[in-house]
Each structure stands twice: as structure tokens, then as C-alpha cells.
Structure 1
Amino acid sequence: MSNLYTAEVTATGGRAGAVKSSDGRLELSLSVPAELGGEGGPGTNPEELFAAGYAACFLGALGVVARRQKIELDPASTMTARVGLRKSGLAFALDVELEGRFPGLSRAEAEALMHAAHQVCPYSVATRDNVPVRLKVAD
């Protein structure tokens, strides 16, 4: 099976370095958050990048699932990803919470859509049985 799309990003300098995509569309400085013992500079970090990707991808997957089920999503719908970094023995591990806000949908409809999207989103598939992911519908 071949990839439909492949993104290529090169990192230099680790967590206090930079990332740049091969197509030049992404070029960011990285900073280590103060909570991790860094200077907390103006750059982003791997957890924010993962959260951005997961939130966007999950909302896209949710849109696919909604269209399949003939449910119209309000364009104002949002997905917020919170990605935590924690110690796991001698290693580090991620922890994820996805919180969706869906104007016009009941809590039950929104929860059902989130669970269905969690089955097809590539980030969810990649993290399944490896990273705890909590799904939440905003109040």
C-alpha cells in the first residue's frame, strides 16, 4: 500500500532548536517550557505541535464521520487537544484529552460522533493502546 501523502520535517537542535518542512511551509523555532526546566522562550514545542496536528486531524475525521451519517456540523465547531508529557519509569509518555464543542448538537450526538471519529482518525489509530486519550464534549 502506498501513502496518499508524506510530510517531511527536519529538526535541528532538539527541543531548543528548530523544525522546517521540506516544502518550506513550516519553519518554527523551538523552546523548552519552563515546566520542563527550560527557559520558556518564545518558540513552540513538540507537545504543542502534536496537539495542533491531533486537534486538526480529529476535527477533520469528525467531519467525515458526520457526512457519512448525514449530520450537518456547524462551521463554528471546534476541537481542542491537550497533550501532557509525564514521566513513565525512566522514559517519558504522552497523555491526551480531546475536547469538542459542537453548536446545535445534543451531548449524545456529539459524544457518538467523537467516538466514531476516534476509530478513523490517523492520530487516534497511531496512539491506540499506547497513549491514553480522553474524549470530552464541552459544556
Structure 2
Amino acid sequence: MTKIDKVLFTGKTHTTVAQAPTPADHGSLNLALSSPSHAGHEQQLTTVAPHPTAEELFAGGWSACYITAIGLIAAQKRVALPADLSVDVEVDLGQTGAAWLLEARFEIRIPGLAQDVAEKLAHAAHEICPYSKLAHGKIDVSVNVITS
């Protein structure tokens, strides 16, 4: 799999589990937005509200889907998840030569769980998450599981 030589932009998300929504309420999305800037292309939006980039939207959708997949796998295996479970996803847009590529990094925090159990949940979630299936074999994805 080709790796990025030059990162041009990184979209970052932090996803936590909220109270379970009712059947009529699918929960809410709260995005903290900022405009991207890279050397020589700083942007200031004084009259326009900042909007998410494609990388931020992709990371946000992926992290929401993935944290749900962790919950499904944990329920199947009868593993109680901590209330402070969280997933940070960073999606890089970059280039290698003339090719444009994406890469992703996952940091999954499952405090209080045994490391081996947490890692099994994290990897099993990638097996059922539709975003992870879409990316599998197409973009480089690294996973870091933290239990402390």
C-alpha cells in the first residue's frame, strides 16, 4: 500500500458515546469547525462561518460508525464498556509523487478494560464498520488502543 510522502491537510475528530437516543431521536452531531490553512494559503473567514473539510466529514462519519461498531461487538461479547470510551480519528490528505492519497490514524480509549480485550474489540469493530470495510486495502490505517 502506498504511503503519503507529503501531508497537505489533516481532518481530526473526537467521538464519545452520548446517552442512548430514543427511537425518534437519532442523537445529535456537534462539530467544532475551523478553516484549514497550510503554508502560503492561510484563510480567515470573517463574514462566513467556517465549514468542515471533506477530511473532517469523512473522519467524523467514520468515527461515529466505528464507535457504534465497538458498542455492537461489546454487546455481543457481553463486555461492559466504560462511560468514557472515546475514539479519535485523524484523516490525512496528501501526495506521493503525483498521486493524491488518504491515510487514517485511530486512537481508541477504553479505560479499565484489559489490553487484549480492548484490542480484540477495536479490531473486530473494523470488521463490521462499513467505513472501515470501504477503506480496507485502499488506504493505510493505523490503530492505537489505550486502556489506562
* TM-score, normalised by the number of residues in structure 2: 0.67
The answer for the alignment partner of 1:56 in structure 2 is 64
**What are structure 1's unaligned runs of at least 5 residues?**
1-24
Distance of 1:108 and 1:31 partners within structure 2: 36
User: What residue is the counterpart of 1:119 in the other structure?
Assistant: 127
Are 2:42 and 1:39 aligned? yes
The residue type equivalent to 2:36 in the other structure is: P
Task: Kindly report the root-mean-square deviation, in angstroms, between the aligned alpha carbons of the 2 structures.
Answer: 2.4
Superposition map of 1:11-90 within 5 A: 33-35=36-38, 38-41=41-44, 42-90=50-98
| CA shift for structure 1 position 99 | 0.7
The C-alpha deviation readout for 1:68-98, integer Å capped at 9, x for no partner, is 1111111220011011111033231111011
CA distance in 2, matches of 1:31, 1:79: 20
Q: Which structure exhibits the higher relative contact order, with contacts defined as CA atoms closer than 8 Å and separated by 6 or more residues?
A: 2
Which residue in the other structure is 2:20 paired with? none
| Whole-angstrom distance in 2 between the partners of 1:77 and 1:32 | 28
Give the AA of the match of 2:80.
E
Q: Is the contact between residue 32 and residue 38 of structure 1 (CA under 8 Å) also seen in structure 2?
A: no
TM-score by length of 1: 0.72
Larger % of helix: which? 1
User: For residue 126 of structure 1, what is the amino acid of its counterpart?
Assistant: L
In 2, distance between residues paired with 1:40 and 1:110?
A: 40
- Specify the code of the residue in structure 2 equivalent to 1:33: P
Query: Which structure 2 residue ranges, 5 or more long, are not aligned?
Result: 1-27, 45-49
User: What is the number of equivalent residue pairs in this alignment?
Assistant: 113
Percent identity between the two aligned chains: 38
Assess, with a 3 A threshold, how the Cα gap between structure 1 residues 32 and 87 changes in structure 2: closer, same or farther: farther
3-state SS of paired residue (2:102): strand
